[in-house]
Chains A and B, each alone.
Chain A
Amino acid sequence: MKIWKDFIKGLWEENPTFRLLIGMCPVLAVTNAAINGVAMGLATLFVLVCSSTIISLIKNLIPSKVRIPCYIVVIATFVTIADLVLAAYFPDIHAVLGLFVPLIVVNCLILGRAEAFASKNTVTRSFFDALGMGLGFTWALTFLSIIREVLGMGSIFGFRVLGEWFTPFLIFVLPPGAFITLGIIVGLMNTFTRKTA
C-alpha cells in the first residue's frame, strides 16, 4: 500500500510540474510540439528511475559530505547513456532536443528526488517514487505540448487536426506561450483541487 502511495503521488497530488513546480526549464523550453514533450518526458523518466534506484542502492556507502558529487556522477552517467542512445536510434528527435538532453543533468527534479527520497528510502520505494514522478513529469510535458501545438500550429504530433479556417496563434509555440499555458493549467488545477478537498 505504501508503495502504491509512493507511485501515485507523482501523478497528481505531488506532480512535479503542476504541483511542485520543479524542473521548469525543460517544461518551458521543449514543449512547443507534442513529440518533443513526449521525448523529453521519457528521457527524463529513464534517467530519474535509473539514478534513483542506483542511488538508493548505494546510499549507505556514500559519505554525506560528498553525496552531491556522487549523485551528480550517477545522474550524468545515465544522461550520457540517454543522449548516446537517442543519437544512435532516434537521430531526428535528438536533433530537435539537442542541448536539452545533456541539460537533464541539472534538472532539479532528478537531484531533488535523489536527495529528498532515494537517499532515505528502500530501493523498491525509491524505484516506484521515481517511476511515479517520471510519469507525472511525462504526462505534464505531453499535455502542455499538445495544447501548445494545437493552438500554435493547429496540429498534434505533426498531423493537422484543425482545418484551414484556423489561424495558428504563433505565440503559443514561442516562449511566452509556455508561461501562459502553464499558468492557466496550474491555476485551473489549484481551483479544482481546492473544490474537491
Chain B
Amino acid sequence: MRREYIRMVVVLMIISLFSGAVLAQTYKVTIPKINENALRKQEAAIIKVIPGAKSFKEVSKDGVTAFEGLDENGNKVGMAFIAKSGGFGGIITMMVGVDMEEKKLAGMTVLSHLETPGLGARIQEDWFQEQFKGKSFDDGFVVKEDVDAITGATISSTAVAKGVKDSLEKFLQVFGGEY
C-alpha cells in the first residue's frame, strides 16, 4: 500500500520535472522574439495614438516614463504614455496619446489584455477605442455617461476608462507643467 503511494508521487514528480525542464528551454528560445514583438507593437501604438508623429523618443521623469511624438522635422507633436488597469480576466495595458496644447486625448489603443473573447475582448475594436479621442483632460471618463460600454462587458469597459483616467492623472502630475 505504502509503496504504491510512493510510486504515485515519484512518477508524477518525474513527469513534472521533465515538463518543467522542457518548458524552461522553450521559454529561453522564444522569449527574445516575444519581447521584440511586444516592443514593435508598442512602437506602432505610439505612432498611432499621436497624430502626425513619425518618430518618438522615450522620456523619464520622477519614475514615470512617457513617449514624446516627433514629426519629420523633429518638432514635438504630442505625448503618449502606457496605462494599466485590472480588467475582468487580467491586466489590460493601453497606450494613450495626449495633445498637450488642446488639453485633450489624441488617441488610445489596447496593447494587451486577457478579457473574454467575444465580450470583454471587444475593447480592441475601433469604435470603442475611438471614443476616447478628443476627450478633455477634465472629463470624468464615467462609463455609460461619457464613455459607451460594451454590451455584456461593463467590467472591461469600466477598467479601460478608469485605467485611462488614473494614468492620465499620474502623467499630468509629472509632465503636466511642461507645456
Contact = CB atoms under 8 A, between A and B. Distances in A.
A107 interface: no
Secondary structure class of chain B's binding surface, majority of residues: helix
A169 interface: no
A63 interface: yes
A77 B8 CA distance: 19
A114 B53 CA distance: 54
Interface residues of A, number: 25
Interface in B31-46: 31, 33-34, 37, 41
Measured as residues with beta carbon below 8 angstroms from the partner, the interface class of chain B is 20 to 34
Contacts of B12: 66, 69-70, 73
B117 A63 contact: no
A88 B11 contact: no
A179 to B, nearest CB: 14
B23 A88 contact: no
A44 B89 CA distance: 23
A74 B16 CA distance: 8
Nearest to B90: A99
Given A73-B16, A99-B114, A100-B117, A89 B33 contact: yes
Contacts of B30: 84-85, 87-89
Interface of B: 4, 7-8, 11-12, 15-16, 19, 22-23, 26-27, 30-31, 33-34, 37, 41, 89, 114, 116-118, 121
Interface of A: 29, 58, 61-63, 65-66, 69-70, 73-74, 76-77, 80-81, 84-85, 87-89, 91, 98-100, 175
Given A77-B22, A87-B34, A88-B30, 10 more contacts: A61-B11, A70-B15, A74-B19, A80-B23, A84-B26, A91-B41, A98-B117, A99-B114, A99-B116, A99-B117
